[in-house]
Amino acid sequence: MSHPMLPATTHDEAAAQLFVRDFKMFLTESVEPGHRARAERLDPGASSNARVETVYDRLHADEGFRAWASLRRTSQEMLWAGVSESVARQADSLEALAAAAPEHGSLTLDPNFVQPAYLDSGDVHLMPGGYAHDDGALLQGAVMDRGGAVYMLGRNGGLMNDVRGHTIVAHIFAQYPDLDPREILELGCGVGTSLIPVASAFPDAQVHGIDVGAAMLRYALARARHLGATVHLHQGDAENPPFPDASFDLVFSSVLLHETSPAAIANIMAQCYRLLKPGGVVVHLEVPNRYDELDLWGKIRGEIEADYNNEPNWKAAISADYRALLAQAGFSDIAVGYQAATSTPLRGAGGFSDTSMGTFRSWFVASARK
Amino acid sequence: MTQPAPRPTMPTRAKRRIPVPGQSPAEDRMLAMIAALASELAVTRERLDSVERLLERANIVDRAAIETFTPDAAQSSDRDAIRRRLIAHIFGPLRSDADAQGDA
């Protein structure tokens, strides 16, 4: 399944994007195991108080590791370069398609908006311009949408990239079956990959999303309109969401926290509490790993991602004690665990447990009630 | 009549690109060029595969005949030019470096 706003590809653009997908797969499946084995040989042991740092430094002494790490980054740069070129080619038709969308929902931009410092310091995932880049149109959103689908290698709902949103709905059905949200907000909605499935699960609700990127939001609105979803999008920062207290019954985020900062995570928890009506529910979905459960290579891989794919808050986000953070923000009925990934959330299906089923099979979720 | 404002160019470089400790920028660049070359080759192969399959579907080309095709002299000469241009293009940096050495 796809949607009308998704940038199309020519024969050669599609081939180039498939090359990136398969090159990444080769680097991960065929090259990485050797470096992983070497990391285990270089391990100073659990008694070392700088185990990960030591192994990470020692790995860099090897030319092959350096070549692998740099080609891994290159594959990511190729992804964005290929997608950008393809999007630029069809800029006029994408804008015309956006203009022709049925007019429902809304977009509120803030001309004085300044992106948070943690985003300004580096472009997350090496996407040139970052989430907040404003091209004056919607091209950055188109790049993000197409690039995200290629980056996920089809494992998160293919070109719709919407499994996380459906999984959030499944979590609500499992943990808060009585919740009938009238006002919903997503923090960091991006192009709306998670917002749309949540909106379609609660068709009577008024659905809002905030994001830092004007181009991202223009694209998200057109994408939602073509998908028949009515959403109200606002340029804003999750640490300072532009809404009065007690505005929402459901506030959620989807893989947002690991792109923020340690201080921002605590501030976002507090803002969610402020924004919810009494009895309202917060759901944060995150990457399905906990730092202390990772093996040595899992931790090394995180360092590689932080350094060479601009994921600087990855470690803090998967180390955070969400139970404590949510309690500190004032929440009760706190649930922290893993929700089975799904494209078809059903009431009564459950799917929430203490144990991860692995990457792309389940997602980490921290949720609570005000 | 006024021209429409030129479309802003899209950003091509990500902010925060830290060096891989111990790796020279030259090696990083060289690996990136090889990856780009491999991508170009994969795209070309895929396009050629499409062309062959479409021609076969239209009963214009028997794909087995490609294996036994022998170019005549003029065709060979054209193909030599394609191959030599490719070599000069890919190994251009090597020649630039040698030329610079020669000029020095």
Residue A247: the pLDDT is 98
Q: What is the ipTM of this complex?
A: 0.82
Q: What is the mean pLDDT of residues B11-35?
A: 91
Q: What is the mean pLDDT of residues A124-140?
A: 95
| Partner-chain residue, chosen from B8, B14, B39, that has the shortest CB–CB distance to A126 | B14
Cβ–Cβ below 8 Å for B14 and A12: no
Per-domain boundaries in chain B: 26-69, 70-104
| Partner-chain residue, chosen from B10, B20, B38, that has the shortest CB–CB distance to A84 | B10
Residue B56: the pLDDT is 94
Q: B100 falls in which pLDDT band (50, 70, 90)?
A: confident
Length of chain B as a residue count: 104
Tokens of A351: 């799917």
- Kindly list the residues from chain B whose CB atom is less than 8 angstroms away from the CB atom of residue A61: 22
Cβ–Cβ below 8 Å for A78 and B16: no
Whether the predicted pLDDT of A27 surpasses 80: yes
Residue A186: how many CB atoms within 10 A of its CB? 28
Rounded Cα distance, B19 and A69, in Å: 11
Residue B1: the pLDDT is 52
Q: A2-6, A227-231, B81-85, B96-100 — which is least confidently predicted?
A: B96-100
Q: B88 falls in which pLDDT band (50, 70, 90)?
A: confident
Whether the predicted pLDDT of A4 surpasses 90: no
Residue in B closest to A62 by C-alpha: B22
Q: A156 falls in which pLDDT band (50, 70, 90)?
A: confident
- On whether the CB atoms of residues A184 and A202 are closer than 8 A, the answer is yes
Cβ–Cβ below 8 Å for A19 and B10: no
| Residues in a beta bridge with A369 | A281, A332
| Residues in a beta bridge with A250 | A184, A281
| Partner-chain residue, chosen from A88, A127, A136, that has the shortest CB–CB distance to B14 | A127
- On whether the CB atoms of residues B34 and A151 are closer than 8 A, the answer is no
Whether the predicted pLDDT of A322 surpasses 80: yes
Mind listing the pLDDT tens digit for each residue in A184-199? 999 999 999 999 999 9
Rounded Cα distance, A141 and A217, in Å: 7
Residue A159: the pLDDT is 83
Residue in A closest to B9 by C-alpha: A135
Q: What is the mean pLDDT of residues A147-166?
A: 83
Cβ–Cβ below 8 Å for A71 and B43: no
Rounded Cα distance, A130 and A227, in Å: 25
Listed residue (A284, A245, A307) closest to A72, CA to CA: A307
Residue A366: the pLDDT is 98
Q: What is the mean pLDDT of residues A245-274?
A: 97
Whether the predicted pLDDT of A260 surpasses 70: yes
pLDDT top residue among A284 and A288: A284
Q: Which amino acid is at A317?
A: A
Q: B82 falls in which pLDDT band (50, 70, 90)?
A: confident
Q: What is the H or E stretch that residue A340 is in?
A: strand A332-340
Cβ–Cβ below 8 Å for B16 and A123: yes
Number of CB pairs, chain A paired with chain B, less than 8 A apart = 102
Residue A5: how many CB atoms within 10 A of its CB? 25
The mean of the pLDDT values for chain A is 95
- What does DSSP assign to residue A260? S
Rounded Cα distance, A280 and B11, in Å: 41
Whether the predicted pLDDT of B35 surpasses 80: yes
User: Which are the contacts of B69, defined by CB distance < 8 A and separation ≥ 6?
Assistant: none
Which residue ranges form the domains of chain A, and what is each CATH number? 158-369 (3.40.50.150)
| Residues in a beta bridge with A210 | A187, A234
Whether the predicted pLDDT of B4 surpasses 70: no
Residue B102: the pLDDT is 72
Whether residue B38 lies within 8 A of chain A, CB to CB, comes out as yes
Q: What is the mean pLDDT of residues A50-62?
A: 96
Residue A193: the pLDDT is 96
Q: In degrees rounded to 5, what are phi and psi of residue A289?
A: -135, 150
Residue A121: the pLDDT is 94
